[in-house]
Amino acid sequence: MNLERFTLVSNKVVEFKSTWRTGESLKLVDTSIGTDPPAPKVDAGTAPIERKDVAIQTGGSPRHVSVTCDDAKLSNWLQKIYPLVDEELSAGVTESFDVNDNFCDSTERVTIRKHQELMLKPSNPGTSQKLSMGAAAWLSIATRDAPLLVLACSSYHEAWCDHTYSSITAFTPRRDSYGSVQWVELCSNPVKACIETLETNPFNKDMFAGGTVSGDVYIWHYELNLKNEQNSFSELFSETTDFGKVVDMAWMKPNPLTKDFGLLSCHSDGIVILWKIGKHIGKDKTFRITTSASPQKAIMLTQILAISNSEFVVGTVDGSILLCSITQLIPIGKGSNGSGAPSSSNAKSFFAPAITELQSHSFAVTTLLKMENSRQQFLISCDLTGEVYFHDISDAINSTPTLIIKMPLPFKNKIICSDDMRFILSPNNDGILDVYKIDSGTQESIESGGLSGKPGLIRSSTNGKWLITGPYDGGFIIYSVYKDV
């Protein structure tokens, strides 16, 4: 190594100052473990401690040794709060989406699908008229959630129609090995004239009534006959009245303390008959419906709906909606169906119910419904143009509707409303079912090809799982309704 190449240089010391504080003294703490017992605590007892003011409370909440509870107040509170909690829980949190359904509302979790077509053949083989008039009634459940079904179908009527070959046809649901249900024809029962309306008894769904274009009133009963199922339907009562055709019917219980039923038959010439159904069946009272503007003039009725044990609502051709009460009846003597003087043979005793006129429609009333939603009861009426009134009848009926909806054309012969009052459904021409959303005002359609005609019927089963529309030249469409609850 050549040391001459290196030079020795002395550098100054690089100092790193200490962080130790030399000018301060530290206070040491004795951490030794003693053997003396701990000092006794004052609040070591198990007695409850009175709570003092906490947060925004303005007073304490002392606990008493003797606690009393008002069972009546607690029961009332639970009855009020339970429906609210149940309603919130039933709404759920998961939405279902299926774009392949005929109609599927993801928000309300409702799906409507075409399920089956039923075809009624003309009772008179020689007639060439189309079957454009129909009636339907859903009866009691026959298998799981599928009820029995009764249908009637006829052609448009003229004054000279002899109404021969008229009947009602019953269908029963059958399930295959896969659980799918199909309605098959069970039997047919003849009637005197063509059926205009059918109505199921809501208090006994094995009983239903029918009215004809000639003013006949029928009552049938279903009881399963195991030996011969075709004989399960029996006619309990029939009578021909002297009034106009039976345009609609409604069941009620005038006396809730008895097992008797009441049947209201609504006739086109302004007459409503109350039939008493118990051990014996017969007329109870006959009402003549008039308005304050023309008390002597009979009006033409189109619809009837019972809303309580003593009240019913009727709709008229001119759009009037009349609330009738039978608690205080006014006898109006004897009269006849015609304009001439009454005779001893056709004289009848009439009563005038107390009538309250609600806000009227501009055209004929085609539908009357009673719905209940969120512990509120509503009277729903619809006229031919699709104008829908919602009257709140929870406590007292207000003559002015709380909600008015104008549905788009075409004309609406019949409508139904969903149980939650979110949708209005109406049959349209050629097998189309219109679904109108009340909250948004939009409308969708379910198309069913292969059918033609303008229907005048739509009925929903009591459980809300089945719909039927028609007739389309003798054909009816059954829809299934699925609710994701």
DSSP-assigned letters across all residues of 98-132: -TTSSEEETTTTEEEEEEEEEEPPPSSTT------
Lowest mean pLDDT among 77-81, 123-127, 146-150, 437-441: 123-127
Q: Could you tell me what percentage of the chain is helix, strand and coil, using 3-state DSSP and rounding each to the nearest 5?
A: 5, 45, 50
Strand segments, DSSP code E, in 319-474 are 321-335, 348-358, 365-373, 376-383, 387-392, 403-406, 416-417, 423-428, 432-437, 443-447, 457-460, 466-472
Could you tell me which residue, 3 or 361, shows the higher pLDDT? Answer: 361
pLDDT at residue 404 greater than cutoff 90? yes
Encode pLDDT of 36-75 as tens digits: 666 655 555 555 544 444 444 444 444 444 446 677 777 7
pLDDT at 414 exceeding the cut of 80: yes
Q: What is the pLDDT of residues 243-281, one digit of tens each?
A: 999 999 999 998 888 889 999 999 999 999 999 999 999
- d(Cα 333, Cα 345) in Å, to the nearest integer? 15
Whether the CB-CB separation of 335 and 348 falls below 8 Å is answered with yes
CA angle in degrees (0–180, nearest 5) for 387-392-396: 135
Q: Name which residue leads in pLDDT, 98 or 175.
A: 175
- For the residues 296-308, what does the mean pLDDT come to? 91
* Average pLDDT taken over every residue of the chain: 81
- When pLDDT is cut at 50, 70 and 90, the band that residue 465 belongs to is very high
Mean pLDDT value of segment 310-335:
90
Taking a C-beta distance cutoff of 8 angstroms, is the pair 292, 360 a contact? no
Phi, psi at 91, each rounded to 5°: -70, -30
Q: What is the pLDDT of residues 362-382, one digit of tens each?
A: 999 999 999 988 788 999 999
Pairing status of strand 475-483 against strand 110-119: antiparallel
Q: Measure CA 353 to chain center.
A: 28
What's the CA dihedral at 479, 202, 135, 226 to 10 degrees?
80
